[in-house]
Chains A and B, each alone.
Chain A
């Protein structure tokens, strides 16, 4: 067991875990945060996407020891006290959620895109989400939702 200290959704965490425990298992099995899903275990589907220091990465290919000193953000950590994150809100409003299993990963990839690119084109959105598989939506409404969230963000600024 190794002692690991990191920030999780803006809360300081100090815990003991096997150094080689996968982040996805740490979150789901140990911390009860089941918003991060597993669908392949090989980095090929994006369902386990989390943000580490703001960058989307597969939690199935991140080991506990790698978290030391990092800022980890999961889907549970992006809503505000008053409501959903604008990207979450846009997903809801634009019909981008069907079975919803890809949604946490998809949302986090989109959040990261909009943090870096203010007004992405539809093609840029498709590129940013290319690592997040969805089997239900055909991606169409997801793209629309992210574009709408970008517009909305622009307006609010």
Chain B
């Protein structure tokens, strides 16, 4: 039987982590507690972050939004700041897991778990988000694509905690789009997903495009070539088809029990075509 510690402040957390350096840290537990069913690690303590209010703030500071990593997905979906300013993220949250999972799982957990299929990640990449990492006497920021190093691997060092996500607000007129392909409409691990953030001018010409694909590589895939192919063009089927071809070539999906690499590759391109106006 093991200890389960629920610190209510960061100071308490640091003390516990120092006392028990091999403790397993979790917030919602929807990844860790499921893994522990098969590999119990009975000698390691558990530290649960769900009572640390300092990790749960959502704030707009100037043109930046700060999201505490302890925010559950439900909490984020209910936040006007997220709904109004970051629909690309809200769309992903709405199709992540299920309402029960969203009530306990956190954005911090989704990022640190760094699954190739993590649904918050493509929007965060498209938004060029940064993450804040803290430890006693330390605070640093990294771009999201520097934080996630590989499948299940992050730049978090022992003793460090992911504390926040920092997002510079997109312009109000930007198109924010997310689509996920899964085996069913809820409780589905993504087979492929696309987050697209695009700025059009008054004539409908693409000024800037930020595209990020999930579940088609070891980490989120971006494709500057596809973005460049769209910039300066009208957003239509033709320009999207060219970008789609480039995207298909840029992704590196695998075969697994959910889907084949070939299908994922095709999807990566096709999901772009959804953006064609009708």
Contacts and interface: CB of A to CB of B under 8 A. Distances in A.
Q: Does A pair with B?
A: yes
Interface of A: 1-2, 18-20, 41-44, 46, 49, 55-58, 61-66, 68, 109, 127-133
A61 B33 contact: yes
B138 interface: no
Given A19-B3, A44-B187, A66 B100 contact: no
A58 B100 contact: yes
A43 B100 contact: yes
Contacts of A55: 74, 103
Contact of A130 (B1, B28, B99, B103): B99
B99 A109 contact: yes
Interface of B: 1-6, 28-30, 33-34, 37, 46, 48, 50, 74, 97-101, 103-104, 185-187
Contacts of B104: 57-58, 61-62
A128 B34 CA distance: 23
Which has the most chain B C-beta neighbours within 10 Å: A1, A68, A132? A132
B30 to A, nearest CB: 5
Contacts of B37: 41-42
Among B30, B50, B99, B185, find the residue whose CB has the most chain A CB atoms closer than 10 A: B99
Nearest to A129: B99
Nearest to A63: B4
A62 B30 CA distance: 9
A128 B77 CA distance: 13
23 contacts: A1-B1, A19-B1, A20-B1, A20-B4, A41-B37, A43-B30, A43-B33, A43-B34, A43-B100, A46-B98, A46-B100, A57-B103, A61-B104, A63-B48, A65-B4, A66-B6, A109-B99, A127-B99, A127-B186, A128-B99, A130-B99, A130-B185, A131-B101
Contact of B100 (A68, A109, A127): A109
Contacts of B100: 43, 46, 49, 56-58, 109, 131-132
A132 B100 CA distance: 8
A142 to B, nearest CB: 15
B34 A131 contact: no
A130 B98 contact: yes
A62 B105 CA distance: 12
Nearest to A45: B187
A133 B184 CA distance: 12
A18 B46 contact: no
A56 B34 contact: no
Contacts of A44: 187
A56 B100 CA distance: 6
Given A66-B50, A109-B100, A128-B99, A61 B34 contact: yes
A127 B29 CA distance: 22
A58 B33 CA distance: 11
A6 B98 CA distance: 26
Given A49-B100, A66-B48, 10 more contacts: A46-B98, A55-B74, A56-B99, A57-B100, A57-B103, A61-B28, A64-B4, A65-B5, A130-B99, A131-B187
B30 A61 contact: yes
Nearest to B5: A65
Given A41-B37, A63-B4, A20 B46 contact: yes
A127 B30 CA distance: 19
Nearest to B185: A130
